[in-house]
Amino acid sequence: MNERYIIDAYAWIEYLTGSSAGDKVNHILGENRNLIYTCAVTIAEVVSKTAREGRDPEAAYNILTCNSNTINVNHELSKDAGTLHAEIRKTIRDFGLADAYVLASARKLNAKILTGDPHFKSFKEAILL
């Protein structure tokens, strides 16, 4: 049976820097039965962080897009993410809109989220690295 994973920005950055948490991402990427997804918003986050750190944003972009299926933003996903964001911000004051897109996507695809972001620790969809 295929497992579905959405890799968030935190996990991709760990993968790109070759950390021990990134090794866990690498293991999941290496399993041929896994279906791997990345939100388009996450791609923007990773490209931005990579560029700000003086690393190659084009290489980061290519790694993400060649190793995962992109979840594009559309009006339905935006509505779901916005609704989730408003609800979650009642209890997690700094929960980001990009995180809401990741969570909404995971719920839509019945996928697990690979992350190390503490904002996700209380969500059943999250696998903390």
Q: Which two tokens stand for residue 67?
A: 């190793």
pLDDT tens for the chain, residues 1 to 129: 689 999 999 999 999 999 999 999 999 999 989 999 999 999 999 999 999 999 999 999 999 999 999 999 999 999 999 999 999 999 999 999 999 999 999 999 999 999 999 999 999 999 999
- Sorted by sequence, the CB contacts under 8 Å of residue 119 that are 6+ apart come out as 92, 94, 95, 96, 99
pTM value is 0.94
Domains of the chain and any CATH numbers? 4-113 (3.40.50.1010)
